[in-house]
Structure 1
Amino acid sequence: MIISIASDHAGFEQKQLLAAYLEEKGYEVHDLGPDSDDRVDYPDFAAKVAHEVAGGVATYGVLVCGTGIGMAVAANKINGIRAVNAINTQFAELCREHNDANIVTLSGRFVDVEENKRILDVFLSTDFGGGRHAGRVEKIMALETPSA
């Protein structure tokens, strides 16, 4: 499984640690930057990961910024993306089970790295529930198509 990961300057330190953690667990990790904690604009890095996930290059994406919120907003602008900001393991489980989320966004400032590791473990091990949730996800994805 390929996981694409990126951050902004606020999430850089955790991105580095989380990328190494995922590699240790056996995932192939595409680190799409940045390469330092110099100030950058998070939409640029959210787009890189979102395009890899939407294009089928990566199975899932991981984005880290100060809160995770801006990354989720930016990534969700790319068709085919369902990015969710997870601040605990319950959010991670439900966003996969109910929403078939394909990108998880994490807070590098308000959630410690050990909790973010647990969030990733749950996110990557939880299957989409399908059933009644499938129709809802279809409706979400249909919102990407402009009405006639």
Structure 2
Amino acid sequence: MKIAIGADHAGFELKELISQIVEDAGYEVIDMGTGSSCSVDYPDYAEAVAQAVSDEKAERGILICGTGIGMSIVANKFKNVRAALCNDLFTAKMSRLHNDANILCMGARVIGKGLAIEIVKTWLSTPFEAERHLKRVEKINIIERKVINK
């Protein structure tokens, strides 16, 4: 599975750590930047990762900024993207089980490195529990198509 990973300057250090964890777990990492802790604009990196997921160049994505909020706002503008901001293990698990989230957003200034690693491991290992939730995700897709086609 290909995982696109991106971060702004606030998330750079955590992105580097998470990229290695993801790679060590057997996933192919597509590093979308940033390449340093120099100040950059988070929308650029959220766009790159969300576009990769939307275009099916990556099955999933991980975005990291200071809070994760900005990244999630940008990512959710893209077709077929369901980005979830997760600051704990429960939301990481539920975002996959119930919402089939395909982009994980995290805040490097909100959670510590240890928790971030556990969130990523949980999120990557949790499958979508289709059953009754498939209908709800399909409704999200219908709404998305209506909005995009306006």
Looking at structure 2, the residues matched to 62 and 115 of structure 1 have their Cα atoms a distance apart, in angstroms, of 15
Aligned match of 2:90: 90
Coordinate RMSD, CA, aligned: 1.1
Structure 1 moving runs of 4+ over 3 Å: none
Opposite residue 64 of structure 1, the aligned amino acid is I
Partner of 2:68: 68
Structure 2 distance, partners of 1:57, 1:23, is 17
Unaligned runs of 5+ residues in structure 2 are: none
TM-score by length of 2: 0.95
- Equivalent position of 2:7 in the other structure: 7
- Separation (CA, whole Å) in 2 of partners of 1:140 and 1:146: 10
1:38 Cα deviation from its structure 2 partner:
1.0
Q: Normalising by structure 1, report the TM-score.
A: 0.96
More helix by share: 2
Q: Tell me by how many angstroms 1:91 deviates.
A: 0.4
Amino acid aligned to 1:58: A
SS in 2 for 1:36: coil
Matched ranges for 1:40-79 at <5 A? 40-79=40-79
Which amino acid is 1:25 matched to? Answer: A
Give the CA deviation at 1:146: 2.7
CA distance in 2, matches of 1:56, 1:79: 11
Distance (Å, rounded) in 1 between the aligned partners of 2:118 and 2:15? 14
Q: For residue 101 of structure 1, what is the aligned residue in structure 2?
A: 101
Deviation per residue, 1:31-79 (Å, 9 max, x gap): 1001111111111100100111111111110000001111001000011
Measure, in 1, the Cα distance between the counterparts of 2:141 and 2:125: 23
Give the fraction of aligned pairs with identical amino acids, expressed as a percent. 44
Give the match for residue 37 of structure 1.
37
Q: Distance in 2 between matches of 1:2 and 1:111?
A: 25
Residue of structure 2 in register with 1:128 after alignment: 128
